[in-house]
Chain A
Amino acid sequence: MEENITATADEQAVEAVVPVATEETLPPKKKRKPINQQKLQDNLWGWTFCVPLLFGTILFVYVALVMALLLSFTNYSSFAGNVWDYLGKMFGGNDAVFKFDGQYDPLHWYRLVFTNETYSTAVTQEEHVAINEMGAYLFNTVFYMIGIPIGMILSMFFAVCMSRDIKGGNVFRVLYYIPCVASTISIVYTFRIMFSTAGVFNQMFGSQTPWIQLPDTGALRWGDGDPFWRQGLINKLVIIIMSVWKGLGGTIILYVAGLSGVNAATKEAAQIDGANGWTIFWKVTMPDLYPTIFYNIVTSVIGGMQIYAEPELFFATTTSGGPNVCTSGYVSLIWWYGIKGGGSGAGRASQGAAYGMVLAVIIFFMTLFQFWLDSRKKD
């Protein structure tokens, strides 16, 4: 299938070049030659200029996407041999690639992805509780999205403050953006100590909250009496606090830009009509800001579904080095099974690809749902 895509692109290229190329080879008997020459130049250079980007996108995104889709039906593992040869085998009518334990079963990984269960790390074997693995990790991922509305309200508040005509508003904008440019891992290693049980945060509030179970106590446990969803809620809060803190500056800049675009004349008219600040904000400013807010929500949800590094770096991994069922996001499953092979060292690319396809479908439908809500609002 990936050949198809490149083929269509090639066809388009041929279409674009061939007619003008023949014109070029024609003897110069037509008078309209300067125009044709111009068109030839347009097409030639137009394609030439975008060929690098097009090539990179096709190879590293589209071909990889098609490859992931194909691999998710096979039992390609441990990255053994050349993946192109493997895909060739698949199209060569060799259905051994779809066989799992001698059975023809292309949907093997998808079934596993949806039904695979993980066990609690309770002390005794009898107390072990099973839980759907994908569900658990999706729960964590969605839980982290609580940060999105909090961040939006906070950044709106700060953006409104910065848009007053005060001196030095620009300075604040720059200062608030600093966390956005800093590297996640540095921030995590700093916050990890600041949020430790004896850390700055707990000192400030005089509490003993175990925000982060320290590495020497091992991975977070669950199954010690409490239901899964209540385990590690406090630990997840640290991630939310950190991501809100880190993402605030970028959103503020978008809102400040949006607020400066709000129609000043309408605002003034509302003021003369006796509307107070609150009314003006809700009735005049907010409708004008709506496109910015919508863009922001869509991008944050897409980004939020792909959370990976923060929980992985914050909390100790399980003893086998895998993701933590109480805190890790969905993407860590792709990494753990696809690249690390679930601790076996032989990455199961096919299983990872199946997880990835499910994620892609989830993100696609979430985005679609948001656009549907948006269109409904306009009616």
Chain B
Amino acid sequence: MENNEMQNAVVAQPTFEEQAHQYSSFRYAVGAVLAFFGFSSKTHRASKKRQKLVGDIFTYIILLFGTFLMVYPFWWMLAGSFADTSMGSQALLESMIWWPTNSTFDAGFTKGEFYYNYEELFVRGFETSVYAKGFSYWRALGNNLIYSIVPVVVGVITSASAAFSFAKIQWIGRNKVFFFLLAAIMVPGPSIMTAQYAMYSSFGMLNALVLIVPGLFGSIMTAFFIRQFLFGLPTSIIEAAKIDGAGYFRIFCGFILPLAMPAIMAQGLLSFMGCWNNYMGSFIFIPNNSEWINLPHAMYIMDTGYKNNQGPVIAASVICVLPVIILFACFQKLIIGSLMLTGSKE
């Protein structure tokens, strides 16, 4: 009896195709087209596979468009660094979209090789400027390397040691000290800028030292992230090492540094990039006429002498951006992985 009723009910319901006949042929055609593009309507139901395919295609289009927006300025920068702007033709760079109409690759360009703008930058870039006699972009590049290698390497190790002490050693006042340090993040850098200036000035540090010395003591955020990473390491390793008679210093050098190397590397690379791009630190604390200015600061000074010949300035931009991008390309997995970890922790 029940069975019979159910069968009746099924028969009574019109099938999908039957239902479709209620619509005009135009509506039917539209439905077919929509279904082809992955949209279900009353006449046609799009298959799951088709829906996914169409969604993927749309996603790719959107993401590729976004990628274009992200990468295009860098392409523009590279192309602009080969523009022949030495005649003071600012309009050349302004009108450039893909490639300059007068490039240093052209046959008509007789001033020098295709790397003319780079030559100008490195050889004559600071001749016209009133600042820093005998200064060249090479010097700025060297300064920047010192500023972004020495403090970062030492600072990451001091941060890691602090992180080790906070994560794996029990000592009196540990939590108090940790919160004391965390509270320092709340202090905005610019607020204490002038006091820092006065302090550095009293220490006689307003030269290269100002970009090196504070970094040597490590950074709180770096220590914080390495600490998070160290929490994931089993404490039994340290216990075992202790039983075997290793001291904490030995444990730190022999176990913690190698084991936490991914986190340390990622944080080190991120701080390297931060130091490399540190325009404000140099601009605030180092006088314009000092030979210890860093790369972004040197770019700023050079720009003042090249207002109508921006080719070399764009070349300087390329030189400033390229090392960081290459570094990022080499270590992208490590860096992105570390950032993802940060994101999921928060």
Contacts and interface: CB of A to CB of B under 8 A. Distances in A.
B105 to A, nearest CB: 20
B152 to A, nearest CB: 14
B56 A306 contact: no
B54 interface: no
A181 B186 contact: no
A110 B218 CA distance: 34
A75 to B, nearest CB: 13
Interface stretch (A49-57, A98-106, A227-235): A49-57
A82 interface: yes
Interface string B194-210: 11111101100000000
A41 B95 CA distance: 68
Tell me the dominant secondary structure on chain A's binding face.
helix
A306 B188 contact: yes
Contact of A257 (B169, B299, B341): B341
Contacts of B70: 175-176, 178-179, 245, 248-249
Given A173-B336, A185-B296, A349 B325 contact: no
A339 B325 contact: no
B201 to A, nearest CB: 5
Contacts of A305: 188
Contacts of B196: 60, 64
B192 A61 contact: yes
B300 interface: yes
Contacts of A194: 73, 76
Interface string B214-225: 101110100100
B235 interface: no
A352 interface: yes
B55 A164 contact: yes
Interface in B160-200: 161-162, 164-166, 169-174, 176-177, 180-181, 184, 186-199
B279 A215 contact: no
Interface string A263-275: 0000000000000
Interface string A53-83: 1111101111111011001000010010011
Nearest to A361: B191
Nearest to B164: A49
Contact of B56 (A62, A166, A179): A166
Most buried by B among A173, A175, A190: A190
A364 B223 CA distance: 23
B162 A68 contact: no
A57 B219 CA distance: 8
Contact of B194 (A43, A82, A166, A339): A339
A57 B173 contact: no
B50 to A, nearest CB: 15
Interface in A169-219: 170, 172-179, 181-187, 189-191, 193-194, 196-200, 203, 215-216
A45 B194 contact: no
Given A47-B171, A53-B162, A356-B192, 13 more contacts: A46-B170, A49-B165, A60-B199, A71-B194, A172-B66, A178-B328, A193-B80, A258-B343, A302-B188, A349-B197, A349-B198, A356-B188, A357-B191
Interface of B: 55-56, 59-60, 62-63, 66-67, 69-71, 73-74, 76-77, 80, 91, 93-97, 158-159, 161-162, 164-166, 169-174, 176-177, 180-181, 184, 186-199, 201-202, 214, 216-218, 220, 223, 247-249, 252, 273, 276-277, 279-280, 283-284, 295-296, 299-300, 303, 307, 310, 313-314, 316-318, 320-321, 324-325, 328-329, 332, 335-336, 339-344, 346
10 smallest A-B Cβ distances: which pairs? A56-B217, A46-B171, A257-B343, A356-B191, A49-B165, A186-B317, A352-B194, A338-B194, A68-B195, A45-B248
